[in-house]
Structure 1
C-alpha cells in the first residue's frame, strides 16, 4: 500500500536521493537538473528549512517532494542567489519533486503535489512557486494543468538550460505567514 508521510529525521537521505533515478530521463535529454546527480549532502542542504514528504511503498521510498517558506534574500538557493519570487513573503517554494520510474503513471506525483500544496495552505501561504527547465514542455504543461502560470525566468549557474519560474495562488485556510 502506498503511503505519503512527512519525512522523518530517521529516514535515510541516501535512499531519499532516489532523485537520481527519477531524473535520469531528463539527463538523457541533456538537462543537468541538480537532482540528476546531487550528493546526499546537497539533498540535506536542499531540505534544510523545508518540510519534506515521502511516498513509501512496502517500506521503500518511491517518491519525494519538499516545500518551504520564502528564502532570506542573502541565502543561496543551491549555489545562486534566489530569484525575487523565492524571497517574497507569503510564497512557499516547491522543490525536490520526484517519483521513481517504477512507480510512474499511478498519480503519485499529483498526490505528492497535493500534499505539499495542502501543507502550504495550512501554513497560511498565499502562493506556491517552483521552477523547471524551460525546454521541458511536458513538465510545464503538467504544472499549468494544476493552475501554475509562468511569471518569469532564471538562468541557474552551470545549467545547460534556462528555467521558467511558475506560481499558483493558494486559497489560504489560515494566515500564519505574512
Structure 2
C-alpha cells in the first residue's frame, strides 16, 4: 500500500462510490453525513478545497482523507483559529478496514499538518457515532465542543489533538463556548 496525493486524473466516480460504501453503516444508522450521499462534483470540490491524500493498493484507491487549513469564514468557530488544521472526508473501503489503513492515512495528515506549522489537528463527527469518537480518542483526540450544522441531522462533536505534545500527554481543556 502507498499513500499519495490525490491526482486530478484519479477516478472521481470511483472515489465517490468508495465514500458512499464506507459511510453506508452510518447512513443505515440514520446519520446524514455529507459523504453518505454526495455527488462526484461535491467530492471534487471537497478534494480541491484542501490537501487530499489517498491510500492505494494494486493500483486501486482504497482510502482517502483531506486536510484543510483553518478557514476564517467557517461556521465552526474552532475551525477559524490560527494554528489549526482540520481533516475530513476520511474513509477506507469496507473491504480493507481494520488493517491499519485509516491509521496510516491519519499519520500522513499529522505529518502534513506539522509541515504546515499547525499546532492542533481538529475534526468533527456525529455525536451518536460513539465508535468513531472512541477511535479518535484512542488516537489522542479530546472532545472540546459540540456544533449543530444545518446540513446534517445530528449534533456534531468537535475533537482536537495537539501536534506539539505527545498524544494523551496533557488532558486538553475545552475551548470556551462562543
Q: Does 1:96 align with 2:73?
A: no
**Counterpart position of 1:10:** 9
Counting only pairs closer than 5 Å after superposition, residues 21-170 of structure 1 correspond to structure 2 as 21-73=21-73, 81-170=74-163
Give TM-score, length-normalised by structure 2.
0.88
Gaps of 5+ in 1: 74-80, 173-178
Deviation sequence 1:77-104 (CA, Å, 0-9, x none): xxxx521111111110100110001001
Deviation at 1:35, TM superposition (A): 0.3
1:48 positional shift: 2.6
How far 1:41 moved relative to its partner? 1.2
Task: Tell me the C-alpha RMSD between the 2 structures.
Answer: 1.3
Aligned residues: 164
Structure 2: stretches of 5+ with no match in the other structure: 166-178
Deviations, residues 24-57 of structure 1 (Å, cap 9, x unaligned):
0111111111000101111122123311000111
Deviation at 1:121, TM superposition (A): 0.6
The farther-off stretch of 4-13 and 115-124 is: 4-13
Runs of at least 4 residues off by over 2 Å? none
